[in-house]
Amino acid sequence: MKRVLILSCMLVIIAHASFAQKYFTKTGQISFYSDTPLEKIEAHTKSATCVLDGSNGKMEFAVLIKSFQFEKALMQEHFNENYMESNKFPKSTFKGQIDNFNSVDLSKNGRYNAKVSGQLTIHGVTKDVSTDAIIQVQGDKLDCQSTFEVAVADYGITIPAVVKDNIAKVVKIKVMANLEPLKQ
């Protein structure tokens, strides 16, 4: 009887471990928007990586700064060379977790509101951030979306006086990632 109990305990553990899936994408979409009365600027990338650990809600994002595409080539140049110094700081990352992971059931289809917090690194400067996100569970796929704001000055990015009215002090960032189970 004891043996059966131990065996069934082990089975439960194994079943739980195999369910503890990692979710992943290499084609996460990140956009940012700088709106001022003088000028609206936006840039997009569709090549961000994101991984979410289904066992504990930890997540990581990484994006190459040079992958952001602007409508105007000159703006893209200035963004990379003058503001983000992307040769020196080629990547931006986020490392954090879903704080209310207990109320997100990845095994059940539905739309969940998630609180995400962690460390955001831009331009070599790391700051604590938190935001709301929506996770849509559809079968074994997770559709994640979030919008948050970043103050340019917080990350040591200096905007020259000549264009200070053209570039917003607070930039809106939109993230969309369709995560799929990582094949192991």
Query: 67 or 136: whose CB is closer to other proteins?
Result: 67
State yes or no: residue 31 binds other proteins (CB under 8 A). Answer: no
- Specify the residue for token string 């074994």: 140
Alpha-carbon distance 156 to 153, whole Å?
5
Amino acid in the structure at residue 114: A
Task: Give the CA count within 13 Å in the CB-facing half-sphere of 29.
Answer: 10
Could you say whether residue 126 binds other proteins (CB under 8 A)? no
47 forms part of the interface with other proteins (CB under 8 A):
yes
Q: Is 72 in the site for other proteins (CB under 8 A)?
A: yes
Residue corresponding to tokens 């940012």: 32
| Structure tokens, 102 | 């207990």
Q: How far is the CB of 113 from other proteins (least distance, A)?
A: 24
Of 171, 175, 172, 160, nearest to 81 by C-alpha is 160
Could you say whether residue 95 binds other proteins (CB under 8 A)? no
Among 8, 87, 100, 138, binds other proteins (CB under 8 A): 87
Interface with other proteins, residue 76, by CB under 8 A: yes
Residue with tokens 């990547």: 91
Q: Can you read off the two tokens belonging to residue 110? A: 């539905």
Could you say which of 36, 53, 62, 159 contacts other proteins (CB under 8 A)?
A: 62
73 is a contact residue toward other proteins (CB under 8 A) = yes
Report in angstroms how near the CB of residue 21 gets to other proteins at its nearest: 18
Assess contact for 114 and 104: CB atoms under 8 A. yes
Which residues of this protein are in contact with other proteins, per CB under 8 A? 26-27, 29, 45-47, 49, 62-67, 69, 72-74, 76, 80, 86-87, 90-91, 178
